[in-house]
Structure formats: structure tokens, C-alpha cells
Structure 1
Amino acid sequence: MILLTGFEPFGGESTNPSWQAARRAAELLTEQGREAVAVEVPCVFGRSVDVLGAALERLRPEIVLCVGQAGGRGSISVERVAINVDDARIPDNAGRRPIDEPVVAGGPAAYFSTLPIKACREAVARLDIPVEVSQTAGTYVCNHIFYGLMDLLAARQGVRGGFVHVPYSAEQGEAHGQPGLPVEAMAAALVAIATTAAGTTTDARITAGAEH
């Protein structure tokens, strides 16, 4: 079972391509004969992890791929690390704006993705879709659910998970004068990441670092 999550719209947007792409990717995976479910999560600190946790209990997946929007980025970003801090530049959809608060009080400073992030990057690159390994998931609700996911999975044997940021959709990018990708391309990238993760236990030993 592969679980994908995407966020509801936030920040004044009427759509969120992370949810559109996650939902479409689940459809494509199902068409391939794989068991996959997409769940929409609220763009709210705390509640997003509660919804995710309930989905984990209900669905018992082996692979979990949480997806969020990173408007302004030009590539699919396979995230490497989640950090234990909420520091919101803008309020979430419930009006909360935590500053320098831990995601999990007393939790470790960070968790690494347990997906084969470099192999996933290579799989997406073979589709001629722009992709990168990202070294930061920010400090907003995307990082919050990423950290929350990895904290939940720390107690679950045999379940692997991670986080992927997608750019604006093509329509949003045009409206904002920013990079964008068609939702269908995002979905294809998520399918490649999910299937690579399902079939790969040892990551590719190739460089995917950054100087800044």
C-alpha cells in the first residue's frame, strides 16, 4: 500500500497542486495494479499530522509520500531532512502562526527521509521532468507534517516515508510570473518516486548536495 497526501489550498490560492498531483498519482498507481490511496490534509499546524496519523492507522501503508507546494521553485524537490521547528512567516489556515516552537517537544533535532532520495531523483530525471534533492523543507506546515510523519514512522517497523515539494501548477506559475509545471507532470514524477521507493532499499551513491 502506498499512501500519498497533499494539502488543501492556502495563502490565498484557490487550488493546491500538491493535492491535485497526489490524487492523480494515486489513480495512475492504481491503474498500474498497485494499491494506492491519496488523502487531503489541512494546511494547519497540528491538525495536519492528526489527519496523517489517522490515515496511517486506517490504511497501514508500506510507503508514505507527503507532498506540498513550494511556489517559486522550478523543480520537483525530493526533500532530504525535516527539522524540529515551526516558524511561520504567514498564518496557517486556522490563523496559527507559531514562532520557534518544536514540532514535537523533546523530539530529535531532525529526521532524515527514509526514501531512496537520490534514486528517486534519477527516476524523475529520466522522465525529463526538472527535479532536485532539496536540503530544506522550510519551517511551515510542509516541514511540520514531514517531521510529524517521520516521528510517527519511528515507531513503525518496515514503513518508509518522506516528503516532496512541487512547484506552482502551470496556471499558477503563469498568474504569478513564477515557474510552474503541469499537474500531470507532477503526478508522473510522484508515480516514479513512489514506485522507485517501493522497489529500492539501498539508495544510489551519487552526489546530490548543494553549496548553499
Structure 2
Amino acid sequence: MKILVTGFDPFGGEKINPAIEAVKRLPDMINGAEVIKLEVPTIFGKSAAVVKDAILKEKPDFVLNVGQAGGRRMVTPERVAINFQGGQTPDNSGQAPQEGPIQVDGPAAYFTQLPIKEEVAVIRKAGLPAQISNTAGTYVCNQLFYQVQYLREHDFPQLKAGFIHIPYLPEQVVNKNAPSMSLADIVKALTAAIGAIVS
């Protein structure tokens, strides 16, 4: 069994992104499942292409995309990806997203196939705050979440996929009034969540 776990590179002027830093530190095996780790660019469209290539190469049973949600104080498995992109923050190509649908022939939304209630339960059991989120935003995180679901529907029907948002790291909030979580705790939370996913 394999799970492909992705993390975004730094964006928005940040020097670090907790997503890829945590993903890189995950164990190579969790509950008997091989963990494939992948850095993806914070670029609309390109991130999904990188993930598709990895799916074709690795043939995972699960895909878990991980992204930073600055301002959240909990680890938040996402329930739904919406067919909309927008916002004013440029991605790492320097382009702000064109507001509108991600896929013109796609449904309004996709629900994750991952056991998000169980993910929250095991993260809390590990002593860390977690709750289900019903919005992945409209930036690259939601776009990648939606695109992987679209790929699943059209090309990889056996795949189960989902998304988890994580808080800032402490060093990112030195000059911000925002909550944070240590890298060790984020890794602990993701490891617990992956254990629930592959069980």
C-alpha cells in the first residue's frame, strides 16, 4: 500500500512553508503503508501537473495534500473542494488567479474520500487540536484539492484523496498576531492522520 503526501513550497514572501517541512520529516512507513513525499509548487495549474506525474509514476492508493492555513490554530482535514479559484495574492509564478471555475466541465464541488472524522479523532488522541474544515479557500490549496479529485474522477477511479491544512510555524508569527504550532507537533498530527487513512 502507498500514500502520496505532498507539501507546498514557500509562498507569499515567506521563507518557509510548514507543509513541505512537515512532509519531509514524515516516517517512510506508517501502519505498513509506504509514504511517498513530494514537494509541489505554489502555482495554479502546475501543482496539479506535478501531482499527476507522481500518481502515474508511483501508483499510490491514497493522495494527501498538505497546505499552510495561516491564522488557523488547529490541524484541519478538509471535507470539500469547490470549483472556484480567486484571490489577490499572486502565486509563485507572479500571477494572481483568474477568478472563475477551475474546470469548466467539472461539478461545483467534490467531497474527500478520506476518513476525516477518524483523522480528527486520532490527532486529538495524540494530544493535539484538530477539527474538520468545510472550506479549503480559493487559493492554490483548494485548486490542487479540486484538481486531484477531478483527476480521480476521470483517470484514477481507484484513488482516494484529500487535503489537510496546518497552522503557521512559531518562527512565522514573530511579527504576526496569529496562532502557530511546532513542526514536531505538525509531524505528529500528520503521522496520526495518515495512520487513520491507511488503516
Which residue number in structure 2 is paired with residue 11 of structure 1? 12
TM-score, normalised to structure 2, is 0.94
Matched residue type, 1:72:
G
The DSSP-based 3-state class of the residue aligned with 1:195 is helix
Deviation of 1:177 after TM superposition, in Å, equals 2.9
Name 1:156's counterpart in structure 2.
Answer: 156
For residues 38 and 190 of structure 2, the distance between their equivalents in structure 1, rounded to whole angstroms, comes to 14
**Residue 137 of structure 2 aligns to which amino acid in structure 1?**
G
| Structure 1: unaligned runs, 5 residues or longer | 200-212
Percent of aligned pairs sharing the same letter: 41
For the Cα contact (< 8 Å) 1:88–1:140, is it kept in 2? yes
Q: Secondary structure at the match of 1:181?
A: coil
Residues 49 and 31 (structure 1 numbering): CA distance in 2 closer, same or farther, change over 3 Å? closer
Please show how residues 32-111 of structure 1 align to structure 2 within 5 Å: 34-111=33-110
Q: CA contact under 8 A between 2:42 and 2:92: conserved in structure 1?
A: yes
> CA separation of 1:191/1:29 partners in 2, compared to 1, >3 Å: closer, same or farther?
farther
Distance (Å, rounded) in 1 between the aligned partners of 2:173 and 2:137: 20
Cα separation, 2, equivalents of 1:89 and 1:80:
24
One-letter identity of the residue aligned with 1:10: F
Which deviates more, 89-98 or 6-15?
89-98
Aligned to 1:205: none
Structure 1 CA distance, aligned partners of 2:198 and 2:180?
28
Shift of 1:136: 0.1
Distance 2:170 2:162 in 1: 24
For structure 2, which runs of at least 5 residues remain unmatched after alignment? none
User: Which deviations, in whole Å up to 9, do the C-alpha atoms of 1:96-132 show, x marking residues without a partner?
Assistant: 2123221112111000011011111101010111111
1:54-108 Cα offsets, whole Å, 9 max, x none, are: 1111111111110000111100010000001110221111122123221112111
CA contact (8 A) 2:33 2:198 kept: no
Secondary structure at the counterpart of residue 4 of structure 1: strand
**Which residue number corresponds to residue 203 of structure 1?**
none
Residue aligning to 1:21: 22
Q: Which amino acid aligns with 1:157?
A: P
Tell me the equivalent position of 1:30.
29
Amino acid at match of 1:83: I
Tell me how far apart the structure 1 counterparts of residues 31 and 124 of structure 2 sit (CA, whole Å): 20
